[in-house]
Structure 1
Amino acid sequence: MHHFPVRVYYEDTDMAGIVYYANYLRYIERARSDWVREIGIDQNAMRDEGLVFAVRRVEADYIAPAKFDDELQVETSVEQVTAARLVLKQVVKRDEQPLFQAVVTIVCIADTGAPARLPANIRLLVH
């Protein structure tokens, strides 16, 4: 499980002082990028080889609001790896309280925009 800290800034909130719903997607994106780097995947090298990651699907549940100045944690774990996709579960928590959770399906696409298989070395890294 990967943990990524997030602080809620004023700019993240709406007029009610709670995190604007779309910002949770930003938080989990940052956490995924950090996780990918941490396990040793070089996305710049992938791009040089004509491959990039793309989000194919997001199933999101908003459970409770986060507020200005909260210290949050994004937990990322691997749910499934196939030849063509990577499914991650991401949970945003304040202390131990889940506030938001998402199941995110990641795929690879070629620089032409066509679907591509996940490289074998990446499948091995995420298992």
Structure 2
Amino acid sequence: MIHKFPVHVYYEDTDLAGIVYYANYFKFIERARTEWVREAGVDQVALKADDGIVFAVRRVEADYLIPAKFDEDLIVETEVEAITGVRIVLNQTVKRADAILFVSQVTLVALNETGQPTRLPANIRRNLH
């Protein structure tokens, strides 16, 4: 299943040339991941409060292919590559219509209250798969 999240490019997202500043793609994909988790029925606030578990980005691989520009409407697509007991690997793509602008692979890990890797509860893994 591919989750789709709309993004509109505002002036604040761009640099002097009017193209999206490279670091802002990370904001776009972060927002999309947050909505993907929420729509999968995972309450991250409750996960932290009840189980002491939070998600952290472990690794990001990113390719910038075509620049996005001011006032464009984009779509961030998020797709699960793999889920293990501790790790979630996602492929995220930023598109303008059918044009692929940015691709990334993001590895998330579940951490406990001391910052150590911890297993995700089975029901959470099922919801996200």
TM-score range with shorter-chain normalisation? over 0.9
8 Å contact from structure 1 (residues 107, 118) kept in 2: no
**TM-score normalized by structure 1?**
0.98
Q: Return 5+ residue gaps in structure 2 as ranges.
A: none
**Which residue of structure 1 aligns with residue 24 of structure 2?**
23
Give distance in 2, aligned partners of 1:106 and 1:119. Answer: 15
Q: CA RMSD in A?
A: 0.7
2:73 paired with 1:62: no
Aligned-pair identity in percent equals 63
8 Å contact from structure 1 (residues 53, 107) kept in 2: yes
**TM-score normalized by structure 2?**
0.96
Give distance in 1, aligned partners of 2:125 and 2:48. Answer: 17
2:5 paired with 1:4: yes
Deviation at residue 126 of structure 1 after TM alignment: 2.0
Give distance in 2, aligned partners of 1:82 and 1:29. Answer: 20
Give distance in 2, aligned partners of 1:118 and 1:60. Answer: 26
**Which residue of structure 2 aligns with residue 102 of structure 1?**
104
Q: Which runs of 4+ in 1 moved over 2 A?
A: none
Deviation at residue 123 of structure 1 after TM alignment: 1.1
| Counterpart secondary structure, 1:113 | coil
**Which residue of structure 1 aligns with residue 47 of structure 2?**
46
Give distance in 1, aligned partners of 2:22 and 2:113. Answer: 31
| Counterpart secondary structure, 2:66 | coil
